[in-house]
Every structure is written in C-alpha cells, then in structure tokens.
C-alpha cells in the first residue's frame, strides 16, 4: 500500500511539473525580408542558441519556434550570401510569445535598420523612359570571380557586353558594338578615365581598382542615355560607392589564390551621425602566372585600398570623403634571351583619387549636391639597365554640382555642371644597342573643359506615359565652338504588363586634353595640326513584357551613327600662307546597329539571372585619300562581334549553400589588320567561357565563415588573345603590294579552379 501511494505521488508530481512547464512554454514567430528591396526570404536558418532550437523560413519568409521556457535568449539568423544577424530577447513567465520583423543585409551591402526599397525591381529609381542595365549588390558579387574581384568583369556578364577584343585578361569592355574608348565611367558622379591596375598593351592585363564589396549601385546605359552622362559617344557606366554601416564595427577578411582583402566598417560617433568604410587588397598574381599559364618570366603584383567617410553635419546636410589608390608592379624575370636596351624590364602604374561631396536637402522636394575631386595616374617604364623608357603622367582637377527639384507630383527637374582641368605629359627615350641615348622627346597637353546639362522627367495619364528629356552644352579650351546636344526618352504602358520604350540622343566626345599644335617659326607663325572630335546620334526602340512580379522579357532595337570630324591647319604650298580647312569635315563614319532580346528573373528565393542574345552589325567608312569628291570604302570595325550570348544563373539551395554560373559566347571580334580583301576581315574565332561557382557558409555565435569554390573556363575552350599582326614580303619583292599576313596571338585563360575563404566578424 505504501509503495502504491509513493508511485501515485511521483506520477502526480511529474504530471503537474509537465503541465506547469507546458503552461509557461512560449513561442516566437516572425518574418524575414531582404534589406535591399523588401522581398521575403525563404530558406533562412533561424536558431535560438541557448535552447538549441532551429527553424527554416517558408517561402513567405515566416518562421515559428515553439516550446521556449522563460529566460534570456539570442536569436541568430543565417542565410548564405547575407550577413549574420543576431537579436537578443527575453521571455517573461507570463509571456505567451514574441513576434519579430527582421531584415537581412547582403554581404556587400551596408547594414541598415530599415528595408530599402528603390523603385522598380529592374529599373531602380530612374525613369522608365531611360534604358539601363543594372546589377544588384548580390549579382555584383556573384558575377565577379574569386580570382579577380572586379566589378568591371561583372559588367562583362550583362547582355550585349563582352571583354574588349574577347581578351579575358582585360577589364575593359565593349557594349553592343561600342568600344571601351567610346564609353565613359563615372564614380560618384565624377568622370574617371582608366581606373585600372596594369597596362593596356595587347600582351598585358588590367584589373579595375574597385571591388564589389565597396560598391552599392552599378548602372550601364548602352545607348540614348541621359545627357548627364554625355561625355562619350558609345555607352556610359555609373558606379556608386556605398557608405559604411552605422553600427558597431564589422569586419570581413577574404583570402583567395590571387589576392587577399580586409574590409571594415562602422559608425562615426556615439550618436550614429556618420559612418566609415575602409578596405585594403594585396595580390599575388605571380602564382597564377607560373602555375596556370606556365609563365616563369613575368611577375605581376598590385595593392590598393580605399576609404569612405560620411557625416551628417545637420539633419538635412551630409558631407562625405572618398579616397582610393593603388599601384601595379610588372617585372620581367629570367629571360631565355638577351634583352635590348629598348625592352621593358620593369613597369609601375599608379592611380590615386580623392573626392569630397556635400548634399543638402533644402526641402523635401529640393536637393543640392556638390562635389570636387583630384586624381592622377602616372606610368613608368624602365629598361633592363633601370633607365627610363617611357614616363606618362595624367592628372585632373574636377568640380561640379547638381540640383534636383521635384517641383510638382511626377515632375522632376534636374540640372548640373562640371568643370575639369586636365594635364598630361609624356617623355620617351630610345637607346642605341650599346646603351647610349639615341633620341629623347616629350609632349604635354593641358586644358579646361566645361559642360552643363538640364533634364526634365514627367509622368502623365495616371503614370502610363513617362517622358524624360534634356539638353547639354559642351565647351573645351581647344575648340572655338560649343555644341548643344539633345536627348529624349519615352515609355508608354500599353497594357498592365506591357510597356513600349523609345530613345533618341546626340553626343559629342572630345580629345581631352589635346596636345597643342606645332607652331611654325616666324615670319609665318602658323599653327600646324589637326583638331578632331566625335559626334554620334543614338536611336532605340523596345518593348518590355512583365511576367509576374519578378520576371521580364525585353526586345530592344538600337542604332548608333558615329562620325569623326576634323579641322586641319597647314601652310598653303602655293601661297605660302597660313590656311585651314573650312570648319570641321567628316573624316570617318561608323555605325553599330542591331537587336537584343533579354529574359530576366530577379528574386532572392528562386532561380535568378538572365539570358540575353544580341545581334549587332558594326561597320566603318573612311574616304580614300586625294579623290574629289572622296570615294568611301566600308569594312567591319574592330567591335563587330555579330552574335553575343550572355547567360547568368543563381540559386540558393538551402540556408548555407548557394550555386551560380555564367556562360558567355561571342562569334569573334575582327583582328585589326589589312588584307587583299580589305581591313579587319580576319577574325579570332568563336569565344566561349563557362564559369561555375559554389559557396558554403558556417554560422557561429558571433562570426561566420564562408568557403568559395570556382572553376573558370570549365570547358577549357581556347580563347586566344590577339597580340599583333606582322606583314612579310617575299625576299625578292621588297615593298610588295600584297605581303603575307601573320597574326600573333597568346594563350587565353585556361581551365582554372580557384578557392577562397571569407570571415565575417
């Protein structure tokens, strides 16, 4: 009887204990969204660390964790490609539960306490009347490579874009038949020529000085772009650097086969009125050259760093500073042949830039933005005897500003101006075989260039019709005329998911700074030389069909008509007086026209990416000398790649594993050469490249580890680099009219497996 009573008491106590525990057990639930756009995030790991309870978010971003006792807990959220987030919370004895709304921030996005929705998922805040291609922060990181974290190589993944000349070693790009030389790069509103490591010679390699970790926004305008970006006649690329997170310091360290990078960011001041972001990168490319290209003679290395500071001096005023700089070193080692005094044995390439900015939101409808910058890019080349061969120094001061006035609902007026003072000097020395100086020369150019623009964007008929137009005025010290360039874009919503788009614009590109003409000595004092600039007309028409909220298909027709205009000053041989051509006349004409079709999906949960096919025809016309009227011959330009296919796909398999890949195809660029059938007839052949990438994350209490694996050119397709073309006459025919042609190429990028580690803490 006593044993039965003891057993009954034990069972009763267990029952009462479990009942009390169940009575006070609570649950937490919530929703997880992306800070960049507000899309609910599926497949995110949510863990209560102290209770060792986990859940994975649903397709709607929701999660529920039940059975939590009263106490203090840490909620940790982890999704591959996103920063680790922790939230501390407490449950009281009488609390049934808590709800959370949490935003996760992409790895290379500033941490923010609010969701940042920036207009249309594909267009951003720009008017739909403007045709653009853009990359989100996540796409920017995934389309870059582990070997070279280079945003300009990410640009080469966009529809219609290719590496210049199909050369994998170049960060320069061509856009639907427009060369890199006819395209502009803007960094925080500053036009920046050649922000690269390395040299632009055919046997060299280049890498942009920026990384995907420090950029917030990337926009490519392929044609008929706003006159704000009208410094070139081909295409425009706008890069926006990101601010640091206004939180406690965050650090990220990356270690790869080609370079290592350290990035840190955090708040300025206890009241979070400002932020700082700093990064540094150091390469060891020589390892790849020796092991993948079997090149034991070249040593290439670089380092760079940047710093971004922002501070709110008032509730509606912010000042900022951005500085970036670095150096590239190239050395020729252990040659199997004896170099000559005119061979390059060592070269350095520097780039430094500093920019100051001030933004003043005068009213909620009026914004003033001013900026000033200085940058320089010196190049130095030495021969095996460490004597100078070629020294080039470019430097530029820039100041400018803009005003944006939302003067009425759906009516935005913008105006701006830029003033640039650039100077360039070049010194070149040639040596005799015995090392003595054979010749030395130098030239320099300096000048001012000023421009201003005004543009208006408006919406009508319930946001169904969008118009955006502008005018630009250019002035250059070298020229005595000031062209005015117009641009107009329009989009019409003909159905709920169907939009028609049109664009037209005129653009001018000046050689800047120009070298001064040669001055004939007294008594004539004639300036002898040629002034030249390029002018282009752009036309675009397209139709875009939305399929749901995250997918679109777009067809675009484009036509760029470009011409080079020259004005020549000379001494008339008959009158022996100073003379010049009457105004500017067309010297060369070219066009690039074709069609592009793009299918694109942009989502954080399902398969994301694009597939774009571009058909382009690029032809050039030049007059034959001395014929009046001139006879024009036509031939392909060096950017005449007829077929271009760009494919990118990205998918998050589970909370800790992500895969992506890109496939690039081009039907081949012409080789700059002449032949019996005409210039630029020979081609390199088809270009193909398949890259695959995988990332695996491990989350710890306060830090995170990511392992990257990537294979470049998985199919090991032979994509040779063009070096030069040589012409040889038969021994018995010196100066023959039809020499034999030899095209010299180098090894392209072979199949290259790479790996890297990243630590976030």
Nearest to 635 by CA among 666, 589, 587: 589
**Tokens linked to 510:** 């000046």
pLDDT reported for residue 9: 44
CA dihedral sign, ordered 427, 430, 434, 437:
negative
pLDDT at 407 over 80: yes
pLDDT reported for residue 14: 42
**Tokens linked to 288:** 């790849």
Q: Tell me the pLDDT of the chain averaged across its residues.
A: 86
pLDDT reported for residue 678: 66
Longest Cα–Cα distance of the chain, Å, equals 139
pLDDT reported for residue 15: 42
Cis geometry, peptide bond prior to residue 513 (ω within 30 degrees of 0)? yes
Q: How many CA atoms lie within 13 A of 368 on its CB side?
A: 7
Q: Yes or no: is domain 2-104 CATH 3.60.130.10? A: no
Mean pLDDT within 455-474: 94
What CATH number is given for 133-760 in this structure?
A: 2.40.170.20
DSSP 242: P
Where do you find CATH 2.40.170.20 in the chain?
133-760
Least reliable range by pLDDT among 278-287, 380-389, 429-438, 733-742? 733-742
Burial of 215-233, coded b for 16+ CB within 10 Å and e otherwise, reads bbbbbbbbbbbbbbbbbbb
pLDDT at 415 over 50: yes
Nearest to 26 by CA among 54, 52, 65: 65
- Alpha-carbon Rg for the chain, nearest whole angstrom, is 30
pLDDT at 214 over 70: yes
Mean pLDDT within 409-431: 92
pLDDT at 674 over 70: no
Where do you find CATH 2.60.40.10 in the chain?
2-104
In terms of DSSP bridges, do strands 388-408 and 259-268 run parallel, antiparallel, or are they unpaired? unpaired
Mean pLDDT within 677-692: 86
Chain segment 573-584, per-residue pLDDT in tens: 777 677 777 778
User: Contact 143/662 with Cβ under 8 angstroms?
Assistant: yes
**Tokens linked to 85:** 């987030």
Q: Which long-range contacts (CB under 8 A, 24 or more apart) does 587-590 make?
A: 587/532, 587/563, 587/622, 587/623, 588/563, 588/564, 588/620, 588/621, 588/622, 589/561, 589/562, 589/563, 589/564, 589/620, 589/621, 589/622, 589/632, 590/562, 590/563, 590/618, 590/619, 590/620, 590/621, 590/637
User: Contact 501/540 with Cβ under 8 angstroms?
Assistant: yes
CA–CA separation, 423 and 176 (whole Å): 32
pLDDT at 198 over 80: no
Query: What are the strands, taking DSSP E only, across 477-526?
Result: 484-495, 498-510, 518-519
Range ranked top by mean pLDDT from 185-199, 424-438, 494-508, 672-686: 494-508
- The CA–CA distances, whole Å, from 327 to 133, 283, 348, 377 equal 31, 11, 7, 10
Mean pLDDT within 288-306: 71
pLDDT reported for residue 336: 63
pLDDT at 648 over 70: yes
User: Contact 268/276 with Cβ under 8 angstroms?
Assistant: yes
Chain segment 344-360, per-residue pLDDT in tens: 888 888 999 999 999 99
Mean pLDDT within 317-332: 90
Nearest to 314 by CA among 360, 247, 364, 266: 360
Least reliable range by pLDDT among 332-336, 404-408, 744-748? 332-336
> How many helices (H) and strands (E) in the chain?
4, 43
DSSP 36: B
pLDDT reported for residue 5: 47
Mean pLDDT within 437-443: 87
Least reliable range by pLDDT among 99-103, 539-543, 600-604, 731-735? 731-735
pLDDT at 246 over 70: yes
- Its pTM stands at 0.89
């Amino acid at each position: 009887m006593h044993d039965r009573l003891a057993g009954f008491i034990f069972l009763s106590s267990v029952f009462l204990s479990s009942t009390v525990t169940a009575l006070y057990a609570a649950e937490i639930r919530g929703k997880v969204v992306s800070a960049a756009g507000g899309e609910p995030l599926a497949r995110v790991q949510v863990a209560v660390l102290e209770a060792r309870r986990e859940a994975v978010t649903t397709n709607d971003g929701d999660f529920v964790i039940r059975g939590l006792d009263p106490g203090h807990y840490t909620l940790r959220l982890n999704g591959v490609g996103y920063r680790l987030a922790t939230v501390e919370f407490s449950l009281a004895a009488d609390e049934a539960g808590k709800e959370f709304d949490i935003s996760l921030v992409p790895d290379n996005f500033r941490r923010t306490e609010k969701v940042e929705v920036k207009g249309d998922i594909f267009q951003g805040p720009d008017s739909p009347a403007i045709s653009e291609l853009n990359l989100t922060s996540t796409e920017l990181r995934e389309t870059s490579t582990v070997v070279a974290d280079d945003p300009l190589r990410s640009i080469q993944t966009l529809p219609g874009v290719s590496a210049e000349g199909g050369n994998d070693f170049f960060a320069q790009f061509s856009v639907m038949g427009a060369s890199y030389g006819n395209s502009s790069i803007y960094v925080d509103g500053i036009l920046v020529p050649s922000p690269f490591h390395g040299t632009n010679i055919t046997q060299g390699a280049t890498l942009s000085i920026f990384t995907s970790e420090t950029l917030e926004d990337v926009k490519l305008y392929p044609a008929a772009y706003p006159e704000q970006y009208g410094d070139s006649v081909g295409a425009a690329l706008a890069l926006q650097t990101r601010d640091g997170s206004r939180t406690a310091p965050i650090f990220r360290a990356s270690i790869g086969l080609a370079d290592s990078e350290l990035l840190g960011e955090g708040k300025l001041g206890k009241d979070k009125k400002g932020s700082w972001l700093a990064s540094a990168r150091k390469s060891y490319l020589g390892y790849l050259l020796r092991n993948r290209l079997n090149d034991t003679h070249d040593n290439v290395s670089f380092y760079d760093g940047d710093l971004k500071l922002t501070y709110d001096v008032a509730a509606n005023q912010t000042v900022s500073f951005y500085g970036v700089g670095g150096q590239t070193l190239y050395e020729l080692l252990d040659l199997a042949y004896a170099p000559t005094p005119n061979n390059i044995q060592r070269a350095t390439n520097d780039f430094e830039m500093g920019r100051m900015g001030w933004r003043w939101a005068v009213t909620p409808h009026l914004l003033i933005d001013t900026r000033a910058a200085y940058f320089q890019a010196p190049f130095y080349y030495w021969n095996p005897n460490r004597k100078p061969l070629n020294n080039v120094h470019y430097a530029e001061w820039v100041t400018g500003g803009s005003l944006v006035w939302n003067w009425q609902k759906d009516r935005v007026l913008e105006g701006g101006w830029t003033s640039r003072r650039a100077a360039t000097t070049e010194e070149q020395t040639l040596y005799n075989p015995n090392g003595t100086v054979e010749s030395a020369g130098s030239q320099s150019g300096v000048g001012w260039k000023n421009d201003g623009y005004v543009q208006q964007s408006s919406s009508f008929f319930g946001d169904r019709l969008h118009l955006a137009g502008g005018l630009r005025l250019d002035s250059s010290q070298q020229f005595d005329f000031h062209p005015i360039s117009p641009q107009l874009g329009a989009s019409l919503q003909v159905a709920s998911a169907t939009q028609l788009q049109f664009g037209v614009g005129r653009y001018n590109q000046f050689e800047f700074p120009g070298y001064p003409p040669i001055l004939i000595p007294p008594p004539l004092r004639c300036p002898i030389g040629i002034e030249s600039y390029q002018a282009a007309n752009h036309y675009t028409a397209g139709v875009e069909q939305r399929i749901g909220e995250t997918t679109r298909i777009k067809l675009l027709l484009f036509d760029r008509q470009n011409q080079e205009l020259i004005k020549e000053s000379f001494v008339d041989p008959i009158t022996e007086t100073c003379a010049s051509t009457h105004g500017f006349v067309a010297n060369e004409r070219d066009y690039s026209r074709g069609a592009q079709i793009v299918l694109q999906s942009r989502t954080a949960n399902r398969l994301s990416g694009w597939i774009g096919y571009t058909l382009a025809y690029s032809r050039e016309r030049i007059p034959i000398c001395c014929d009046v009227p001139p006879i024009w011959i036509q031939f392909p330009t060096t950017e005449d790649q007829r077929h271009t296919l760009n494919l990118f796909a990205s998918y998050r398999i589970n909370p800790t594993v992500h895969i992506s890949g890109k496939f690039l195809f081009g039907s081949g660029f012409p080789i700059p050469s002449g032949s019996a059938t005409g210039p630029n007839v020979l081609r390199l052949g088809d270009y193909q490249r398949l890259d695959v990438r995988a990332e695996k994350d491990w989350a710890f209490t306060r830090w995170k580890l990511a392992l990257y694996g990537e294979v470049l050119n998985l199919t090991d397709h032979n994509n040779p680099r063009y070096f030069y073309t040589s012409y040889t006459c038969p021994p018995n025919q010196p100066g023959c009219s039809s020499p034999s042609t030899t095209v010299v190429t180098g090894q392209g990028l072979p199949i290259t497996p790479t790996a890297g580690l990243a630590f976030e803490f």
